[in-house]
Structure 1
Amino acid sequence: MEGPEEKNESANSSGGMTGAVAPTSSRENPSSTPCPTCGAGSPSLPPFSYVYALGRIEPRFPSPGIEKEFAQVVGRSDTTGLTDRQTLHTVLSNGENRYLARQLCWVFTVEGMDTYILTPRDSLDIDALLASLRPAPRPTDVDVVIGLRGPIAPPDMCNGLMLPIVRFDQLYSFDIDSLIKSIPRPTTAGAKDAGPAADEVFQRVMHVTGNTGATDEHRALNYLVVRYPALYAKTAEQFGQNSSLTAVEVRPSPLGGARKVVEVICSYTNRVTDVTEKFFVRLDMTEEFPFLITKLSPYFDR
């Protein structure tokens, strides 16, 4: 199964799920970076934390001056017949206008709410931001950002928008339809069942309350829905056996030791007998890039 192509290696990507991916630049230790004002307005989160978030990226003008400069560039470009979004994409995709792309404020939204301001860890990763700028966006488009959540942006950074800054190491985009098509066909349920099952699981994770991808719980869920196809295959299989997905829980694992290890437990309840089966995966969330420890297996309450 092919996964989404990382944008720090290519300008375009499509949906899918693969194994863990190594970063392209050196990582920071979030506990070693001093900042007396970090985390303002977010008392439930540590000053610095890793982020693995699902949402949408939107460019914004940080100041009236940049907006006027963009308007002048548009006036010199051939944009006849283009929509406003296509015009934005056309202008910023022109290499001569790269300076404008560097000046823009790139806002990450979750459930339509402004959540983070993105900055690349490497200046070359401006290409990843440009590749997220779709000329014809659709509701099923999803952007994934993996990085380090830092301090609140100063008022002059993004036209008064004061949000946590995320320095990203990896960023890629896909649409939900492409992700569903990439899921292997379940063995006990018909192929037609895989799509609705995958869509339901993905939407449930996307709509988890407060899922900004900044806690171990949310990072684990977001990692699974874009990287682990077995979760979708199991759900489709259970739907084929007339069972419902009744719960998805994330718990600290007693096997973690010195590392942050969590267990994601999925409960499936038969619609006729009311008998519940549970399956779980174990993930290591210690570092910026989560990874799988235990594959999807039956779970028995302790």
Structure 2
Amino acid sequence: MAQAVGRAETSELTDRQAVHSIISRPENRYLARQLCYVLNIQGIDTYLLRPRDPADVALLVDAVRSDPRPTDLDVVIGLRGPLAPPSLCNGLTLPVVFFDQLYSFDGAELIRAIERPAAIPADRFESASHELLRRILHMGDNAGDTDEHRALNYLAVRYDKIYHRTVAAFAADSALSAVDVLDSRLSGARRILDVVLSYTHRRNDVTEKYFVRIDCTEEFPFVVTKLTPYYDR
């Protein structure tokens, strides 16, 4: 890597920008394959990432941003394997995730991609959506390794209706008072979870609940029942 950087034109680049510039070049893909890629969650090194398809090393390269920001997000979909041997990555003994898909984007980019109702001002929609996204990502040490967290993470990046519902609740002077994940009564041969969003009115304390049902049986979760009012059992 040092030799490749020394041969390239990297003046006025930071160290991070120089590395990104080098491994992004097709002729240096052999270097990209030698690197260790660590998924960091809330400041903690959590997983080593390995592509199941060698061609997907390009997704890892794209995830090494030249100018990282606190709002950067990486969505990793794959299978968790055993702890890495010390020889794999400079002594890091973290679980290895063999991924099939990897999406890298900014939190603001995700919010902008959500279709906004015409009646809701953009600034109000964005602030409410960011609040919901933060709540989901920071719930209960969310490392994505349980079905409950997988369901939440899937909804956060794939299901815009939860953002619409939250924005409408804020506009009606209600607070997002809870986000719960419950075993569905429909669970049997399938692993099905109910994600329940609770909104409590700030003046009269009346709580309304909505839920969406997610199937987490296989590697790729999907919606079973769309967002609808929820009534306690």
The secondary structure found in structure 2 opposite 1:131 is: helix
Q: Which has the higher helix share?
A: 2
Q: Which residue, out of 232, 255, 258, partners 2:163?
A: 232
Q: Which residue, out of 46, 50, 53, partners 1:115?
A: 46
Partners of 2:116 and 2:21 in 1: CA distance: 38
1:81 positional shift: 1.2
> Does structure 1 residue 193 correspond to structure 2 residue 124?
yes
Q: Is the contact between residue 283 and residue 293 of structure 1 (CA under 8 Å) also seen in structure 2?
A: yes
Q: Deviations over 1:128-180 (max 9, x none)?
A: 11111211111111111000001000001110000000000000111111111
Letter in 2 for 1:141: D
Residue 18 of structure 1 is matched in structure 2 by none
Structure having greater relative contact order (Cα 8 Å, sep ≥ 6): 1
Q: Which residue, out of 198, 202, 205, partners 1:274?
A: 205
The secondary structure found in structure 1 opposite 2:12 is: coil
1:185 positional shift: 2.1
Residue 73 of structure 1 is matched in structure 2 by 4
Residue 196 of structure 2 is matched in structure 1 by 265
> Does structure 1 residue 87 correspond to structure 2 residue 18?
yes
Q: What TM-score does the superposition give when structure 1 sets the normalisation length?
A: 0.75
Between Structure 1 and Structure 2, how many residues are aligned? 233
Q: Which residue, out of 261, 283, 288, partners 2:214?
A: 283
Partners of 1:189 and 1:100 in 2: CA distance: 48
Letter in 1 for 2:101: Q
Q: Deviations over 1:196-248 (max 9, x none)?
A: 11101111111112211010000000000000000001000000000000000
Residue 102 of structure 1 is matched in structure 2 by 33
Superposed CA RMSD in Å reads 1.1
1:182 positional shift: 1.7
Q: Deviations over 1:4-50 (max 9, x none)?
A: xxxxxxxxxxxxxxxxxxxxxxxxxxxxxxxxxxxxxxxxxxxxxxx
Q: Deviations over 1:235-275 (max 9, x none)?
A: 00000000000000000101122100000000000001110
Q: Which residue, out of 153, 161, 167, partners 2:84?
A: 153
Partners of 2:116 and 2:172 in 1: CA distance: 15
Residue 32 of structure 1 is matched in structure 2 by none
Deviating above 4 A after TM superposition, structure 1's stretches of 4 or more consecutive aligned residues are: none
Partners of 1:165 and 1:244 in 2: CA distance: 38
Partners of 1:219 and 1:100 in 2: CA distance: 32
> Does structure 1 residue 297 correspond to structure 2 residue 228?
yes
Letter in 2 for 1:251: L
The secondary structure found in structure 2 opposite 1:211 is: coil
Give unmatched runs, 5+ long, in structure 2: none
Q: Which residue, out of 38, 45, 61, partners 1:130?
A: 61
1:75 positional shift: 1.0
Q: Identity, % of aligned pairs?
A: 57
1:188 positional shift: 6.1
The secondary structure found in structure 2 opposite 1:274 is: coil
Partners of 1:142 and 1:271 in 2: CA distance: 32
